[in-house]
Amino acid sequence: MTTLRLPGLIDVHVHLREPGGEHKETLTSGTAAALAGGVTMVLDMPNTYPPLVDAATLARKGELVAQKALCDVGLFLGATATNAMGAAALAAEAAGLKIYLDQTYGPLRMRPSGDSPGRGLAALLTHFSTWPAARPIAVHAEGLSAAMAIGLARSFGRRLHLCHVSRADEIALIRAAKASGAALTCEVAPHHLFLTEADARRLGPYGAMKPPLATEADRTALWANLDVVDCIATDHAPHTRAEKEGEDPPPGVPGLETMLPLLLTAVAGGRLTAERLVELTHGAPRRIFGLPVQPDTWVEVDPDARYTLVAEGLHTRCGWTPFAGMAVQGRVTRVVLRGRTAFEGGEVRVQPGFGRVVEPVR
Amino acid sequence: MGNGGSNSIKTVGLAPKLDSGFYGQDIISVRQFSRENLAYIFGVADEMRAVVKRVGSTDLLKGHVLACVFYEPSTRTSSSFVAAMSRLGGSVIPINEVRYSSVTKGESLADTIRTLESYADVIVLRHPEAGASQVAAEYARKPVINAGDGVGEHPTQALLDLYTIQSELGQVDGLKVAMVGDLRYGRTVHSLARLLSLYDVEMTFVSPEILRMPLDVMNEVKAKDRLVHETYDVHDVMADVDVLYVTRVQRERFADQAQYDSVKDYYVITAELMDRAKERMIVMHPLPRVGEISYAIDDDPRAAYFRQMENGMYIRMALLAAVLGKA
Q: Can B141 be counted among the known catalytic residues?
A: no
**What's the number of domains chain B is made of?**
2
Is the domain of B55 the same as that of B137?
Answer: yes
pLDDT at B19 exceeding the cut of 60: no
Is the domain of B54 the same as that of B92?
Answer: yes
Inter-chain residue contact B13 with A1, CB threshold 8 Å: no
**What's the number of domains chain A is made of?**
1
Distance from CA of A160 to the nearest CA of B (A): 18
Find, in chain B, the residue whose alpha carbon is nearest to that of A339. Answer: B43
Find the catalytic residue in B76, B141, B229, B235: B76
| pLDDT value of residue B285 | 96
Q: For residue A240, give the CATH number of its domain.
A: 3.20.20.140
Inter-chain residue contact B12 with A2, CB threshold 8 Å: no
Find the catalytic residue in B105, B114, B264, B289: B105
3-state secondary structure chain B: CCCCCCCEEEECCCCCCCCCCCCCCCECCHHHCCHHHHHHHHHHHHHHHHHHHHHCCCCCCCCCEEEEEECCCCHHHHHHHHHHHHHCCCEEEEEECCCCCCCCHHHHHHHHHHHHCCCCCEEEEEECCCCHHHHHHHHCCCCEEEEEECCCCCHHHHHHHHHHHHHHHCCCCCCEEEEECCCCCCHHHHHHHHHHCCCCCEEEEECCHHHCCCHHHHHHHHHCCCCEEEECCHHHCCCCCCEEEECCCCHHHCCCHHHHHHHHHHHCECHHHHHCCCCCCEEECCCCCCCCECHHHCCCCCECHHHHHHHHHHHHHHHHHHHCCCC
Report the predicted TM-score, pTM, of the whole model to 2 decimal places: 0.59
Is the domain of B40 the same as that of B143?
Answer: yes
Range of the domain at A259: 4-114+121-358
Task: Please give chain A's pLDDT, 362 residues, in tens.
Answer: 788 999 999 999 999 999 999 999 999 999 999 999 999 999 999 999 999 999 999 999 999 999 999 999 999 999 998 899 999 999 999 999 999 987 666 667 776 555 455 567 888 999 999 999 989 999 999 999 999 999 999 999 999 999 999 999 999 999 999 999 899 999 999 999 999 999 999 999 999 999 999 999 999 999 999 999 999 999 999 999 999 999 999 999 999 999 999 999 999 999 999 999 999 999 999 989 989 888 889 999 999 999 999 999 999 999 999 999 999 999 999 999 988 889 999 999 999 999 999 999 86
pLDDT in tens, B146-196: 999 887 789 999 999 999 999 999 889 999 999 999 999 888 999 999 999
Inter-chain residue contact A278 with B12, CB threshold 8 Å: yes
Q: Which residues of A touch B174 (CB under 8 A)?
A: 287, 290, 362
Q: Can B154 be counted among the known catalytic residues?
A: yes
- Is B165 a member of any domain? yes
Q: Can B253 be counted among the known catalytic residues?
A: no
Q: Can B64 be counted among the known catalytic residues?
A: no
CA B289 to CA B291: how far, in whole Å? 6
In this prediction the ipTM stands at 0.71
Is the domain of B179 the same as that of B126?
Answer: no
Inter-chain residue contact A290 with B43, CB threshold 8 Å: no
Find the catalytic residue in B142, B154, B176, B248: B154
Q: Which residues of A touch B201 (CB under 8 A)?
A: none
Find the catalytic residue in B126, B176, B190, B226: B126
- b/e burial code for range B108-144 (CB count within 10 A of at least 16 → b): ebeebbeebbeebbbbbbbbebeebbbbbbeebebbb
Is the domain of B136 the same as that of B172?
Answer: no
Closest CB from B4, B14, B170 relative to A7: B14
Q: Which residues of B touch A337 (CB under 8 A)?
A: none
Q: Which residues of B touch A275 (CB under 8 A)?
A: 12-13
Range of the domain at B116: 30-153+310-323
Residues of A with CB under 8 A from a CB of B: 1-7, 92, 134, 274-275, 277-279, 282-283, 286-287, 290, 292-293, 295-296, 298, 304, 361-362
Is the domain of B240 the same as that of B261?
Answer: yes
Is the domain of B142 the same as that of B243?
Answer: no
| pLDDT value of residue B102 | 44
Is the domain of B86 the same as that of B160?
Answer: no
Inter-chain residue contact B169 with A6, CB threshold 8 Å: no
Is the domain of B143 the same as that of B230?
Answer: no
- What three-state secondary structure class fits A234? coil
Distance from CA of B244 to the nearest CA of A (A): 14
Mean pLDDT of B266-287: 94
Q: Which residues of A touch B240 (CB under 8 A)?
A: 134
| pLDDT value of residue A95 | 97
| pLDDT value of residue A118 | 57
Closest CB from A3, A275, A361 relative to B9: A3
Residue A82: how many CB atoms within 10 A of its CB?
A: 11
Could you tell me what percent of chain A has a pLDDT over 70? 96
Inter-chain residue contact A4 with B12, CB threshold 8 Å: yes
Is the domain of B287 the same as that of B199?
Answer: yes
The H or E element spanning position A337 is strand A327-337
Is the domain of B147 the same as that of B38?
Answer: yes
Q: Which residues of B touch A295 (CB under 8 A)?
A: 43, 46
pLDDT in tens, A44-85: 999 999 999 999 999 999 999 999 999 999 999 999 988 999
Distance from CA of B95 to the nearest CA of A (A): 38
Inter-chain residue contact B10 with A4, CB threshold 8 Å: yes
pLDDT in tens, B106-128: 457 888 888 888 899 999 999 98
- Is B18 a member of any domain? no
Q: Phi/psi of residue A121, each to 5°? A: -65, -40
Is the domain of B255 the same as that of B112?
Answer: no
- Is B7 a member of any domain? no
| pLDDT value of residue B130 | 86
- What three-state secondary structure class fits A16? coil
Q: Which residues of B touch A298 (CB under 8 A)?
A: 14
Q: For residue B270, give the CATH number of its domain.
A: 3.40.50.1370
Distance from CA of B45 to the nearest CA of A (A): 13
- Is B71 a member of any domain? yes
Q: Can B326 be counted among the known catalytic residues?
A: no
Inter-chain residue contact A2 with B279, CB threshold 8 Å: no
